[in-house]
Amino acid sequence: MDSYDKLSQLYEKRQQISLGGGEERIARQHEKGKLTARERIDYLLDQDTFVELNTHMRSRGSDDDPSPCEGVVTGYGKIDGRKVYLYAQDFTVNGGSLGEVHAQKICAVMDLAAKTGVPIVGLNDSGGARIQEGVSALDGYGKVFYRNAIYSGVIPQISVIMGPCAGGAVYSPALTDFVIMVEQTSQMFVTGPKVLKAITGEEISAEDLGGAAVHNKVSGSAHLKAPSEKEALDQVKVLIDYFPQNNRETPVESKSQGEKKDPAMIASIVPENPTRPYDVRNVIKEVVDNDTFFEIHPSFAKCIVVGFARMNGKVIGLVCNQPKCMAGGLDIDASDKASRFIRFCDAFNIPLVTLEDVTGFFPGVKQEHGGIIRHGAKLLYAFSEATVPKITVILRKAYGGAYVAMNSKAIGADLVFVWPNAEIAVMGPEGAASVIYAKEIQQSDDPETTKQKKIEEYRSRFATPYHAAGLGMVDDVITPEETRSSIIQALDMLEGKSEARPFKKHGNIPL
Ligand code: HXC
């Protein structure tokens, strides 16, 4: 073969490999409304930035094995100018199933991403462990899981589920920081519908068992969903914009520092009556830079709202009670959702801003028996553990254990601001008055009037911000209009904060 032939051979191989499992299977993929692995990469990355790695890797002793790329395309490129590593499973090749070499290729990009401090994105579309490879496939999964775990908190890891994701395969996405699913065409389950029917007799469709809706709303195993593959990949681009490249860097500041329109707007959103609901997302929108709030887990545990935003161009992580849902009470799922988000922000140097309006940890047998104690403890642990700048604004009420858990001074908040009509107390005035003035109310001639009098007495004595401010538990009482500027100044002053913790191998967060 002369050098011309060798070049022709290379081009031919490239052409053949680029077709994955062949035109027929590509057509089938398109018929399902799915893109191919390479089309997904093309859409996700900046034009002409993709560099493919290990293109010619194949299973040992498989010279004639027509498994282009071993069913996974791996490499690196850029998203809006930012470096990323990625892998995209190719369903047209053995159903994107994971064998030994497929796993080696994924591990190789994960190792490079960790060594160079660059985020990694996994585009999952796979029938799971490659059945023909038996235990080698399982071992391959193990190697991927190991890397997901040891690189957690080192580089951001994002998973997009773009097809089936069955069996133990779901545990790689589950170990990553964010999971995005495509509606109707992606599913995640440990045990699929057919096996489920055989084992438990339960009959359910794949979509109802593990589709995007169920994992976003019910199980919380996915953080985001999108109606199309392109929209799911757009969400990856948005996420990457908020992240630093790794745990030693801070997020890139935006140059366009959107000014707010009218600071007075914010006061009109929160009703004075502490029992009246409102949507905290309307407060968030007035506080952060225009159009920068990106909610995470919007369909799950709706009584807490978490997400990324920018303030004066700087990235923040928001953790906010949602009074329009269960009066803003904290339940098991809300505690889990917030804790995981807080830990991501802390790992990647993203300051935390808490907007608080909370009645307490949610009462009830279901919550108690479901483990609200250990789940709620996660929230206390996560805020206490976090060493990034931590700012709290109490908008209205802050009662009981939930007051402590929502980033109070006692568990390490750097700065706490409170609005003038806020109530900070062990419990709401109604409950408190009926306990501590029970005898007086009972023995009075007009118990109802006495009760109302005692509630007001309690409210003016204990349920005010000035009691807590007098004890140094809040730094300042601010007007709603001053909220945005106070947070921006606080973020500025807390920049470069450094806080040490006692030496330990690692903590033991309640799970
Ligand atoms: C090898 C596989 C495969 C697998 C699919 N294929 N799954 N090959 N190992 N696990 C191949 C098929 O043979 C077929 O090859 C092609 O991929 C497309 O599959 P279809 O069945 O035609 O596609 P579709 O109808 O869309 O169904 C997709 C599917 C189904 C739902 C994923 O293929 C399926 O149920 N596969 C098995 C899923 C599973 O049980 N996996 C093991 C999970 S256990 P051709 O040549 O015809 O194109 C597991 C353990 C991991 O993963 C543990 C880690 C610790």
**What is the model's pLDDT at position 429?**
84
Same domain, 387 and 327: yes
The number of C-alpha atoms within 13 Å of 241 and in the hemisphere containing its C-beta is 17
Query: What distance in Å separates the CA atoms of residue 509 and residue 342, rounded to the nearest whole number?
Result: 13
**What is the model's pLDDT at position 305?**
98
Q: Which of 83, 71, 94 has its CA nearest to residue 117?
A: 83
Q: Which of 94, 135, 187 to mutate to test the pocket of ligand 1 (most atoms within 8 A of CB)?
A: 94
pLDDT in tens, 304-344: 999 999 999 999 999 999 999 988 899 999 999 999 999 99
**Residue 58: which CATH number?**
3.90.226.10
For residue 24, pLDDT over 70 is answered with: yes
Q: Which of 22, 153, 168, 400 is catalytic?
A: 168
Same domain, 233 and 282: no
Query: What distance in Å separates the CA atoms of residue 53 and residue 104, rounded to the nearest whole number?
Result: 12
168 lines ligand 1 (CB under 6 A): yes
**More confident position, 118 or 68:** 118
Q: What is the ipTM of this complex?
A: 0.98
Same domain, 28 and 71: yes
187 lines ligand 1 (CB under 6 A): no
**What is the model's pLDDT at position 167?**
85
Residue of minimum CA distance from atom 23 in ligand 1: 95
Average of pLDDT values for 147-166?
A: 97
Whether 61 sits among the annotated catalytic residues: the reply is no
Same domain, 227 and 313: no
Distance 226 CA to ligand 1 centre (A): 24
**Helix (H/G/I), strand (E/B), else coil: 259:** coil
22 lines ligand 1 (CB under 6 A): no
Question: In angstroms, how far is CA 448 from the centroid of its own chain?
Answer: 47
Question: Has residue 256 been placed in a domain?
Answer: no
For residue 404, pLDDT over 90 is answered with: yes
Residue of minimum CA distance from atom 36 in ligand 1: 127
Question: Has residue 192 been placed in a domain?
Answer: yes
Whether 402 sits among the annotated catalytic residues: the reply is yes
Same domain, 83 and 211: yes
509 lines ligand 1 (CB under 6 A): no
Same domain, 236 and 94: yes
Question: Has residue 431 been placed in a domain?
Answer: no
Structure tokens at 148: 């997901």
Q: Which of 197, 497, 170 has its CA nearest to residue 346?
A: 497
Distance 74 CA to ligand 1 centre (A): 20
Same domain, 68 and 107: yes
Query: What distance in Å separates the CA atoms of residue 390 and residue 362, rounded to the nearest whole number?
Result: 24
Same domain, 63 and 203: yes
pTM of the model: 0.95
Residue of minimum CA distance from atom 53 in ligand 1: 168
Same domain, 200 and 61: yes
Nearest-5° angle of CA 445, CA 453, CA 357?
140
266 lines ligand 1 (CB under 6 A): no
Same domain, 35 and 144: yes
Contact between 393 and 420 under an 8 Å Cβ cutoff? The reply is no
130 lines ligand 1 (CB under 6 A): yes
At 473, is the pLDDT very low, low, confident or very high (cuts 50, 70, 90)?
Answer: very high
Query: What distance in Å separates the CA atoms of residue 156 and residue 236, rounded to the nearest whole number?
Result: 11
Question: Has residue 258 been placed in a domain?
Answer: no
Residue of minimum CA distance from atom 20 in ligand 1: 95
**What is the model's pLDDT at position 229?**
98
Query: What distance in Å separates the CA atoms of residue 381 and residue 155, rounded to the nearest whole number?
Result: 22
The residues with which 398 forms a beta bridge, in sequence order, are 358, 424
Query: What 8-state DSSP symbol labels residue 246?
Result: S
Question: Has residue 453 been placed in a domain?
Answer: no
Same domain, 275 and 402: yes
DSSP run (H or E) holding 415: strand 415-418
**What is the model's pLDDT at position 65?**
64
Q: How many residues are given for the chain?
A: 511
**What is the model's pLDDT at position 149?**
98
Query: What 8-state DSSP symbol labels residue 265?
Result: G
Same domain, 232 and 268: no
Whether 168 sits among the annotated catalytic residues: the reply is yes
Q: Which of 266, 346, 352 has its CA nearest to residue 315?
A: 352
Find the domain containing 299 and state its range. 263-419+478-494
Question: Has residue 470 been placed in a domain?
Answer: no
Query: What distance in Å separates the CA atoms of residue 104 and residue 231, rounded to the nearest whole number?
Result: 29
Contact between 231 and 212 under an 8 Å Cβ cutoff? The reply is no
Question: Has residue 440 been placed in a domain?
Answer: no
For residue 3, pLDDT over 90 is answered with: no
Residue of minimum CA distance from atom 4 in ligand 1: 130
**What is the model's pLDDT at position 368?**
95
Give the chain's domain count: 2
**What is the model's pLDDT at position 274?**
86
Index of the ligand 1 atom closest to the CA of residue 96 = 17
% of the chain surpassing 70 pLDDT: 98
Residue of minimum CA distance from atom 18 in ligand 1: 95
Q: What is the chain's mean pLDDT, rounded?
A: 94
pLDDT in tens, 198-239: 999 999 999 999 999 999 999 999 999 999 999 999 999 999
Q: Which of 24, 26, 131 to mutate to test the pocket of ligand 1 (most atoms within 8 A of CB)?
A: 131
Question: Has residue 427 been placed in a domain?
Answer: no
